[in-house]
Structure 1
Amino acid sequence: MSVPDEQDDPYADATAVAVAASSIPGEFLVPDLVETFTAEHPEAVVDTVVTDSAGVFTALRDGSAEVGFAGAEPDGDDLDAEVVAADEIVLAVPRGHALDTGEPVTVAQLAATPLVEREEGSGTRRSFTDALAERGTPLITAQQWTIRDTNEGVIEAVAAGDGVGVVSAWALARHARAEVREVRVEGDPIERCLYLVLRRDDDLGPAATSFVALAREQSWV
């Protein structure tokens, strides 16, 4: 792994923290964490970039971020992940849609329904497809999917009638629309963990060390 030299690294300053977060932790966990941290350390600057989970892993590996938060575990043994929160993945269904019955949706029904999903690097999408595969009922790969790069974009597409959305329950609650209903897939809830992710071989700077300690203290599990 190549990490920038300290003299070229804008985050080598003892009072700076570079954070990369995927959309759900970036919207629901990191802002409050940064507010608390900067209140305790007014000299500190936290630079947060919100991307998808794959982007978080890339930022950690290329040295542009010291601390990551993601909705999926990283592949490879160069990054360590620890659970800091849990979330549920649900379906966003247009009001009046055939699946808007109040009953859980079967995978067979989903397979015949256009879906609105996040991009391939999204932890939400990865957790959803992995959960269905583990149940022995993977979605059909040729199924019609509409891709949006934010959770709010998924919900907006559902409201516009583009399909049934796959979203975080947190995101659906925050970006609620009158024309969109929450529905669950049959079986156990599709729950996924949110992770604090760090480079395994990294020596964090003083500010990043304090930031990580605060994140662990305020674990949302």
Structure 2
Amino acid sequence: MTTPEGFEDDPYVDATAVAVAASSIPGEFLVPDLVETFTAEHPEAVVDTVVTDSAGVFAALRDGSAEVGFAGAEPDGDDLDAEVVGADEIVLAVPRGHALDGAGSVTVAQLAATPLVEREEGSGTRRSFTDALAARGTPLITDQQWTIRDTNAGVIEAVAAGDGIGVVSSWALARHGRADVREVRLDGDPIERCLYLVLRRDDDLGPAATGFVALVREQSPV
């Protein structure tokens, strides 16, 4: 394999590869376009992307299996640096015909009284949602039934099946939405969360990863 223009003098053996770990929302809505642009500019470059949850992104960066990460939550600890490269809103997915279907907004008390469909514990969507409720002083302290799904599409499918009210990204609901699932919002200010580019603080990126990160920063709307 020849080395892309701009990478010729780098001493790294694998100068054309970028290992990326992304959580589900940036992995579905941000990273594909970035990879397409980068590989169009550097056709010999290979970007290997693994989609996981935010906790998995942080683990991949820490164990060295990824050089570049994208997550829907900020990492804990001072070994990883995060910078905002996007944003979305967390909303509620309600099955058509549900008591809350058509509601202008849903109170936390109403939400606590109905089964919920959530992402897994390591999900940035779930963490951002629970953090937002805690910051408002209205955490969900309840013995309600929870259904866990490991993808946004899975959450929406479970909502359509009547398993409960889903907690999802507005982007995911717009893409995977169905006629039998409606969007409503929680009472109060919108629950907006940032999407992050995450890197190891002490890492010297390879040349392809350096170029890819430069593109991410250039393309970031934030």
Partner of 2:212: 211
Partner of 1:61: 62
In structure 2, relative to structure 1, the CA distance for the partners of 1:44 and 1:109 (3 Å cut) is same
Q: How many Å apart are 1:176 and its aligned residue?
A: 1.2
Task: Point out 4+ residue stretches in structure 1 off by more than 4 angstroms.
Answer: none
In 2, distance between residues paired with 1:136 and 1:56? 29
Q: Is the 8 A contact 2:81 2:199 kept in 1?
A: yes
Partner of 1:116: 117
* TM-score, with structure 2 as normaliser: 0.93
In 1, distance between residues paired with 2:214 and 2:200? 15
For 1:168, give the aligned amino acid. S
Q: How many Å apart are 1:142 and its aligned residue?
A: 2.5
Q: Is the 8 A contact 2:159 2:181 kept in 1?
A: yes
In 2, distance between residues paired with 1:127 and 1:27? 18
In 1, distance between residues paired with 2:13 and 2:117? 40
For 1:36, give the aligned amino acid. T
In 2, distance between residues paired with 1:116 and 1:194? 22
In 1, distance between residues paired with 2:101 and 2:167? 14
- Give the aligned length: 211
Equivalent position SS for 1:211: helix
**Is structure 2 residue 78 aligned with structure 1 residue 77?**
yes
Q: Is the 8 A contact 1:72 1:195 kept in 2?
A: yes
Identity of aligned residues (%): 91
Equivalent position SS for 1:140: coil
In 1, distance between residues paired with 2:218 and 2:142? 41
Q: How many Å apart are 1:21 and its aligned residue?
A: 0.0
**Is structure 2 residue 51 aligned with structure 1 residue 87?**
no
Equivalent position SS for 2:220: coil
In structure 2, relative to structure 1, the CA distance for the partners of 1:167 and 1:12 (3 Å cut) is farther
Partner of 2:3: none
For 2:50, give the aligned amino acid. V
In 1, distance between residues paired with 2:206 and 2:88? 30
- Superposition RMSD in Å: 1.0
Unpaired segments ≥5 residues, structure 1 = 1-10
Partner of 1:4: none
